[in-house]
Structure 1
Amino acid sequence: MEKSVLVCPGDKLFSTAEYTAGRGTYIKGKHIYASAAGIPKSFAPEAATGDKKPVVEVLRGEARIKTPEPGNIVIARITKVNPRLASASLLCINTQPLSDSFTGIIRQQDVRATEIDKVEIYSSFRPGDLIRAQVVSLGDSRSYFLSTARNDCGVVYAKSTSGYPMIPLSWQEMQCPQTKVVEKRKVAKTV
């Protein structure tokens, strides 16, 4: 049974005998409670879990809130670069834009699959680059761990220091079409 009223954190929703707790909920004793303000909705059970009970989630809007999960391919914008890692702001999961803001980090060992000890973050990414990456794990409380080790992952869009969109030359170089200056990047293989 669906409740179409707005619930607040701490409101009792359903029994754990009837439903499985999803996003925006938590279990206390034998009941499911709201952990966010929104409207509770139930969804068909996910086949991967093997559970037969419907999943109840508290939605803040009309759509189910999408969050990155390990294995997802994401599009992100590089925000900061230092010698050990690059920080990124996640924009999309596959082709679905994210409504919430999530951050990710690409560690030196997750840039490429080979010659990991020779990876230089500054030669792989620059702030403002758009990248395709795979979510490796949930990481810490602030960021997801991302990887560009796959051939189809890496920089998909970058601007040169002159401000022009660059074109890829190889898997590790991009060139400004105006100034012909070549800059190093970990370039995503296009299909």
Structure 2
Amino acid sequence: MEGVAVPGERLGSTEDFTSGGGTYECDGYVYASVTGFVKKQASQKVGQPPTVRIVRNESQHLVLPEIGSTVTCKVTSINSNVCKASIICVGPVHVKDPFRGIIRKDDVRATEKDKVEMYKCFRPGDIIRAKVISLGDAQSYIMSTAENELGVIFAESEAGAAMIPVSWCHMQCPKTKVKENRKVAKVHN
């Protein structure tokens, strides 16, 4: 049970644990109310279950995505409605263990949302910059690339070369000159 928990994640039943800091009880279960490390502490009273609590700043190296955080992710899979990605950096800080995130079709662009085709925006292996818009559920953070500065920042072509952005929706292989569709992040000069 040790590890990282996010708000709303079930930590155990009230028969097994007493609710401590950063948790709450509901319908016979203890849930996390904040994001952080799960810690158990033995009870000093005989017969009472251990206390479970959430510790937010156990280490100065702990960085967790929050609403509004800009994150760097690696695309893991895509379907027609959702892009799944592993969050590898929060701001400029690399995270020890990647977090899961998703980008929904409606959160790819700010305009022409009905014309978004996920396969033309992202590909598995792409590195993207996104913004956390919701803590989601216990499974994934919900992210958006609906700003000019957000989107694909690195993609590898089929020839194995790092692709070059040529427009907001295309990247080009420097070897083969083949253009591929992507939701490209605006590069700051």
Alpha-carbon distance in structure 2 between the residues aligned to 1:66 and 1:132: 17
Give aligned-pair identity as a percent.
Answer: 46
What is residue 176 of structure 1 aligned with on the other side?
A: 173
Relative to the length of structure 2, the TM-score reads: 0.72
Q: Distance in 2 between matches of 1:37 and 1:92?
A: 28
SS in 2 for 1:132: strand
Contact 1:123 1:186 in 2 (8 A): yes
Unaligned runs of 5+ in 1: 1-9, 14-20, 29-33, 39-55
Change in CA separation of 1:91 and 1:175 when aligned onto 2, cut-off 3 Å = same
- The answer to whether residue 96 in structure 2 is matched with residue 93 in structure 1 is no
Kept after mapping to 2: 8 A contact 1:84/1:108 = yes
Where does residue 119 of structure 1 map in the other structure?
116
What is the CA–CA distance in structure 2 between the aligned matches of 1:172 and 1:12, rounded to whole Å?
49
Q: 1:11 to 1:58 in 2, by over 3 A?
A: farther
Corresponding residue number in structure 1 for 2:104 = 107
**Which amino acid in structure 2 is aligned with residue 69 of structure 1?**
E
> Following the alignment from structure 1 to structure 2, what is the Cα–Cα distance between the partners of residues 27 and 64?
26
SS at match of 1:36: strand
* Alpha-carbon distance between aligned partners in 1 of 2:130 and 2:74, rounded to the nearest angstrom: 10
- Cα distance in 2 for partners of 1:93, 1:35 equals 20
Maintained 8 Å contact 1:152/1:188: yes
Q: TM-score, normalised by structure 1?
A: 0.71
> Which residue matches 2:55?
57
Q: Say how many residue pairs are matched.
A: 150
* AA in 2 matched with 1:108: K
Cα distance in 2 between the residues matched to 1:37 and 1:81: 37
